[in-house]
Amino acid sequence: MSVRIDREDLLRRYERRLGLLVPAPIDLLRPLPIFSGVPEKARDKVIEKVRKYLHVVDFASGDEVLREGDYSDSAYFIIEGVVEVLAPGSGGSAGGVVKPQVRGGAHDVPAAQRPNARPAAANMIGRGSTNSTVVLSAFPAAYVPGQRLLLEAGEVFGEIGALSRYAVSATVRAESPLQLLQIRLPALRMLMASSKEFKKFLDTRYRTRALGNHLRAVSLFAPLEDATIEELKNAAELLSFEPGQIVVQEGTPADGFLLVRGGYVKVCVRAGEADLAVTYLRKGDYAGEAALLVDELWPFTLQALEHVEIVKLPVDRVRAILEKQPDLGDQLWNDMLARLKARGAVTRDPVSAEYVQMAMETGLIHGESVLLIDLSTCTRCDECVRGCADAHGGQPKFIREGTKYRNWLIPTACYQCTDPTCMMDCPTGAISREVGTLEVTINEPTCIGCSNCAGRCPWGNIIMVESGEKRPDGKPVELATKCDLCLTRPQGPACVQMCPHGSAVRISFKDIQVVTNTLK
């Protein structure tokens, strides 16, 4: 299918939309129910504080507000109009019609029809599929397949994905002319902190719509019966932590089984005067098996590395489940032994904690496929860069320059993050990741060069490159470019394959053992 896309038109529409994206007026915000739980006295102050993160946005009928599989940092409150939530898997573009739009109205060329369709992942170096992309369906339990799900004025949507940084579970489309209040993540968090009612409202929605799926996504609870999951859902406590906040302290009584819902948690152990990092937990990971199995005190300190959302399950409930399902106990014993072993290894050899610490400090913990170059064997021949350029029409997608850690170079190349923040603010949906794959890719024809993704990438791994085209005003068109793991190369990333000395490797920072073994 040939796709004709008018980049200039997209850019004009985006700039027009950007011009309208001003903080919402106080008079409009004050009567909204999302502020009703904020104490009367503090309401104006809170509104003033969060206002810069609140925008009133309009959509035409048929525009896409959210697209399944994307990442979003916003929740939406419907001020006026109706949206339709499309059932997961039904896709956003009706009838296969390619309709590039400024979002709402994400550009959507179906994956298989893109010029760079992804070949099968078999026999590739450093590429493959991932099970880290968790899409939690936030569909109401009462939803009947085939039925249309419409949300009307006063409803909120998108908050679960935004708070937990899960991929958007369903495409949301304007059913009629629509006015929404876009609530960006900082505002969402501030509102939750200032209004118990709002937090309770969001927690209840998470508990009823997503927690069951979340529990099911954890291997430990996957085989449980619906009734047991329901029981856990009702008993769960939902906790939020600020960056740096201690979640649990080593040596204190362990009163809960903790499940990470969003964010990263550092696991450390006290050794003399220092805290040694043992590992880190990410969404879907859990802690507290020692309390369950042997009634131990917390053997570690858990500390939030960023905004962290935790689901705390009462020990006695989980213990009751274990009695009924001894297999789960075996898995927990294995986990506990592995963690105690890691703890022992770190206390015996504190230097090994350095790798974990480095991974946390540099942000590599987010990486699903991080390019590392062993400088002690690299002859600086640039074959990796040439290989990359050969695979991308002469334009390399990474720079062999970056942070040096011991004998390793961490080049300026996309880490293919578990939760790609670069995908959160793309006005045309040009940057995307297919659910279940590693590679975050940029669809060049629909990139308008707004540089939102480049600005969003905390590691500066997206580069703006002149495309050779000129805008009507004579300025050069700069488009975002980044490593796509050589999507079209059946052999996988060229940088690794073309390194004559095996110095270039790609590793996932999900498994700290792999990281330690590679780096040491």
- Phi and psi at residue 156, in whole multiples of 5°? -120, 140
**Using rule CB under 8 A, residue 395 touches other proteins:** no
Q: Which is nearer to other proteins, 299 or 492 (CB)?
A: 492
**Using rule CB under 8 A, residue 401 touches other proteins:** yes
Taking CA atoms, 382 is separated from 60, 163, 488, 492, 520, in Å, by 49, 41, 21, 18, 24
Q: Rule CB under 8 A: which of 209-248 touch other proteins?
A: none
Report how many residues bind other proteins under the rule CB under 8 A.
Answer: 29
**Using rule CB under 8 A, residue 381 touches other proteins:** yes
Q: Which amino acid is at 310?
A: I
3-state secondary structure of 63: coil
Residue among 511, 485, 496 nearest 119 (CA):
485
Distance CA 183, CA 223 (A): 36
Binding segment for other proteins (CB under 8 A), chosen from 137-145, 180-188, 339-347, 404-412, is: 404-412
**Using rule CB under 8 A, residue 409 touches other proteins:** yes
Q: Rule CB under 8 A: which of 91-130 touch other proteins?
A: 125
CB of 254 to other proteins, least distance (A): 44
Q: Rule CB under 8 A: which of 124-163 touch other proteins?
A: 125
What tokens does 137 get? 């369906």
DSSP calls for 101-122: -SSSS-----GGGSTTPPPP-T
CB 80 within 8 A of CB 153: yes
Q: Which of 68, 175, 383, 478 binds other proteins (CB under 8 A)?
A: 383
Residue 478-507 contact track with other proteins, rule CB under 8 A, x = bound: -----------x-x--x-xxxxxxxx----
Indicate the pairing of strand 172-174 with strand 64-66: antiparallel
Residue 289 β-bridge partners: none
**Using rule CB under 8 A, residue 358 touches other proteins:** no
CB of 455 to other proteins, least distance (A): 25
Q: Which of 90, 219, 377, 517 binds other proteins (CB under 8 A)?
A: 377
In eight-state DSSP terms, residue 332 is H
Q: Which of 322, 378, 440, 479 binds other proteins (CB under 8 A)?
A: 378
Distance CA 34, CA 286 (A): 32
3-state secondary structure of 56: strand
CB of 460 to other proteins, least distance (A): 16
**Using rule CB under 8 A, residue 520 touches other proteins:** no
Q: Which is nearer to other proteins, 74 or 362 (CB)?
A: 362
**Using rule CB under 8 A, residue 380 touches other proteins:** yes
Q: Rule CB under 8 A: which of 287-316 touch other proteins?
A: none
Q: Which is nearer to other proteins, 458 or 502 (CB)?
A: 502
**Using rule CB under 8 A, residue 407 touches other proteins:** yes
Q: Which of 214, 400, 482, 506 binds other proteins (CB under 8 A)?
A: 400
CB 78 within 8 A of CB 193: no
What tokens does 195 get? 């209004």
Q: What contacts 57, CB < 8 A, 6 or more positions away?
A: 17, 20, 21, 104, 179, 180, 181, 182
CB 397 within 8 A of CB 489: no
Phi-psi region of 336 (alpha: psi -120 to 50; beta: other; left: phi over 0): alpha
CB of 491 to other proteins, least distance (A): 7
Q: How far apart are the first and last CA of the chain?
A: 49
**Using rule CB under 8 A, residue 25 touches other proteins:** no
Q: Which is nearer to other proteins, 266 or 400 (CB)?
A: 400
Half-sphere exposure of 422 (CA within 13 A, CB side): 32
CB count in 10 Å sphere of residue 470: 11
Q: What contacts 54, CB < 8 A, 6 or more positions away?
A: 23, 24, 29, 181, 182, 183, 184, 187
Q: Which is nearer to other proteins, 66 or 125 (CB)?
A: 125
CB 173 within 8 A of CB 76: no
**Using rule CB under 8 A, residue 386 touches other proteins:** yes
Residue with tokens 């080593």: 250
**Using rule CB under 8 A, residue 518 touches other proteins:** no
Binding segment for other proteins (CB under 8 A), chosen from 69-77, 226-234, 245-253, 371-379, is: 371-379
Q: Which is nearer to other proteins, 338 or 381 (CB)?
A: 381
**Using rule CB under 8 A, residue 368 touches other proteins:** no
Q: Which of 98, 218, 375, 435 binds other proteins (CB under 8 A)?
A: 375
Q: Which of 61, 113, 249, 379 binds other proteins (CB under 8 A)?
A: 379
Q: Which is nearer to other proteins, 90 or 379 (CB)?
A: 379
Distance CA 199, CA 80 (A): 23
Distance CA 425, CA 185 (A): 12
CB of 123 to other proteins, least distance (A): 9
Q: Which is nearer to other proteins, 2 or 376 (CB)?
A: 376
Residue 179 β-bridge partners: 58, 80
Q: Which is nearer to other proteins, 418 or 497 (CB)?
A: 497
Q: Which of 45, 324, 341, 404 binds other proteins (CB under 8 A)?
A: 404
Binding segment for other proteins (CB under 8 A), chosen from 316-324, 333-341, 360-368, 372-380, is: 372-380
- Contact residues for other proteins, defined by CB under 8 A: 125, 375-381, 383, 386-387, 390-391, 400-401, 404, 407, 409, 489, 491, 494, 496-503
